[in-house]
Amino acid sequence: MSFLHFRRGVFPIYAKVLRQESQSWFIEMLTTLAIPISFFLAFGLGLSGYIKEVGGVSYMVFLTPGLVTMTVLMEAYRTGGWGLWLDRWYQKMIDEYRIKPITTSDIIIGEILGGFTVALIKGVIVALILRILTPVALPWHNVFVYILYLFPGSILFTCIGTMVGTSFRKPDQIAQIQTIVITPLLYLGGLFFPIDRFPAWFLPIVRWFPTTALFDGGRGAFLNGQINSFYLILLFATALLSFWGATALFNWKLSE
């Protein structure tokens, strides 16, 4: 991809995503903070007297990277979903995309980069607040290894969001898909507890969930600097598959 192609195609979409997200930023930030901070207070503080340690660390330390990962994934999904929904159903930009010299890949890549930027910024803010609330030292020097998991995870959830936003006309259906599909995957992926607590027959299944790779693998990367090659391959494979699916679906919608 040449710089000129990037400037004319990907960058305008990326800038559009940032402009959309900068509107009503204060309310958006409060909404973003509400869920992870509530979970931390309810589970991290509320259960800390009952669950002393998980995997050799306190429960609050165990929970913190999971809540940051959850924030990044939910924001990536929301940014992709609402961005494409606004483009297609509200701002009617589909017709404009048809006549502009940009490709479908440009649009999806711009959405991915915008979604990752927004999700990462909000994830950092949540992480800083949790750092204040967590009365123990966290190994922040492993953050770059941790991002190896967040980036493909953000691609996956942004692409899922773009497919949902492109396909469904009613805005409440974006939230419904999150409730039906996204939320169960988050909880089953080991957000609140280690996956080895699952029954033995279910554990081989849950290991193939991309959210398991994000929570279990990302937690190992953040706390111990570990890189799980199986989890990383799974994440990048599902990210590429979701990118192909989002591009193919958007091409189909443009041809209608």
Amino acid at 101: P
Sequence-separated (6 or more) residues with CB below 8 Å from residue 250: 84, 104, 107, 108, 162, 166
Q: Whole-angstrom Cα distance, residue 77 to residue 68?
A: 14
Q: Which of 79, 73, 77, 80 is nearest to 23 (CA)?
A: 79
Q: CB–CB of 225/142 below 8 Å?
A: yes
Residue 221: the pLDDT is: 92
Determine the structural domain holding residue 87 and report its residue range: 3-255
pLDDT tens digits for range 189-246: 988 888 888 888 999 999 999 999 999 999 999 988 889 999 999 999 999 999 999 8
pLDDT tens digits for range 74-87: 989 988 887 776 76
Q: Given a cut of 70, is residue 89 above it in pLDDT? A: no
Q: Which helix (H) or strand (E) segment is 112 a member of? A: helix 104-133
Q: Give mean pLDDT, residues 136-164.
A: 87
Q: How many domains does the chain have?
A: 1
Partnered with residue 57 across adjacent β-strands are 54
Q: What percent of the chain lies above the pLDDT cut of 90?
A: 22
Residue 243: the pLDDT is: 92
Torsion angle (degrees, nearest 10) of CA 39, 227, 198, 156: 60
pTM for the full predicted model: 0.86
Residue 232: the pLDDT is: 95
Q: Which of 79, 209, 219 is nearest to 150 (CA)?
A: 219
